[in-house]
Amino acid sequence: MSRPLRVLSISTLFPNALSPGFGIFVERQMQALAARGDVEIEMWNPLGMPPFPLALHPRYRQLRNIAARESRGAIEVYRPRFHLLPIIGGRFNAAAIARSVLAQVRARHAARPYDLVDAQFFFPDGPAAALVAKALCLPLSITARGSDIHLWGAKPYALQQMLRAADQAAGMVAVSQALKQDMAALGMAADKIGVRYTGLNHALFKVQPRGEARAAITDIVSGDGPLIATVGNLIPLKGQDLVIEALANLPGVQLVLAGKGQEEASLRALAKRLGVESRVHLPGSIAPERLALLLSAADAMVLPSEREGLANAWIEALACGTPLVITDVGGAREVVKAPSAGRIVARDAPAIATAVQDLLVYSPAQAEVAAHAAGYSWEANAAEMSAWFHRIVGQ
């Protein structure tokens, strides 16, 4: 086939004008893949809308302002709306997503055929993509990233749908060897699962002298003393509360929680209750360029997640020369292979505090830390994904 492979990709997480950082890692991967020229990506990013009067809630009302179609670099993004029943309707989301996509792609496929249907998460994207692939008589690839396996795999109705999609899939992708093992433990065929590690923008996430980087982010955190950063949405599974609790045993240490989310008010209240509010900084979401500065300025990146596949924030921190303090989840042991890369700890405040203190004393050189991220790149990831997709369609 001389023309580019045409991929219909479904992802419920993808950046938009209201949430530019939402699923940014999916866009980075897809943009790198599209830039190769041998794969053409159509990204379908369904948006769930509840029935009236729930649709009047500000959380959903603002979704109406998101463009139904948008060009982002080399990718065309389509955002069909599907009927969503908040909280209770999870079992119906995959079918609703599939209907919303099929309503628009049948004619497109007839006029200019797709070669492959791709899902960027295992639930609800995977079962939805399976329905679309079956309707269009196309092969299917599904990527698992972490919570889609660990969270939804524990819900019987979701697991049933996921296993059916896994049986149908020509191939599946895991972002770490550990996640592949977890998928197999759920009953998915291990011989159909390939491991593709995340990418990295080396031009952006790179070592910048710690002192210079610290001086450049005084609008985020001012004052002296060691600095630790936690990067991620402010949600319970990321464990920011544990980092704040650990801070109570780290005198003089400053903490930046980079991200936004539902737990912001409770995290601020916790910091005040523990008497560390002057050392806890919550700047909200930070643009990638500023995030790279923050990570270079930090003495450690602490992320005590309850579950992960292989977090992009881990790799970005290492590339900036910042060692990690992370829990033993997902591919943690595939990333932290030496003391200079950081510490893997129990998910509790005392263990976090001890690890941070250890790293502040040990203080590995930034270049030594950054070497652990040298093998990651979006270009390498894109080459692997291109080969994967071509293999699935038999080229």
Q: Give the DSSP per-residue string, 215-266.
A: HTTTTT--SSS-EEEEES-SSGGG-HHHHHHHHTTSTT-EEEEE---TTHHH
Report the distance separating Cα 395 and Cα 376, nearest Å: 26
Q: What does the DSSP 8-state code read for residue 10?
A: E
3-state secondary structure 379-390: HHHHHHHHHHHH
**Closest to 14 (Cα-Cα) out of 6, 26, 4:** 26
pLDDT digits (tens, 9 = 90+) for 322-352: 999 999 999 999 999 999 999 999 999 999 9
Report the distance separating Cα 192 and Cα 188, nearest Å: 8
pLDDT digits (tens, 9 = 90+) for 194-216: 999 999 999 999 999 999 999 99
All domains in the chain, ordered by first residue: 5-199+377-392 (3.40.50.2000), 210-373 (3.40.50.2000)
SS3 46: coil
pLDDT band at 58 (very low <50, low <70, confident <90, very high): confident
Whether 90 shows a pLDDT value over 70: the answer reads yes
**Across the chain, what does the average pLDDT equal?**
95
pLDDT digits (tens, 9 = 90+) for 19-49: 888 889 999 999 999 999 999 999 999 999 8
For residue 342, the surrounding DSSP H or E stretch is strand 342-345
Strand duo 75-78 + 69-72: pairing: antiparallel
Identity at 75, one-letter amino acid code: I
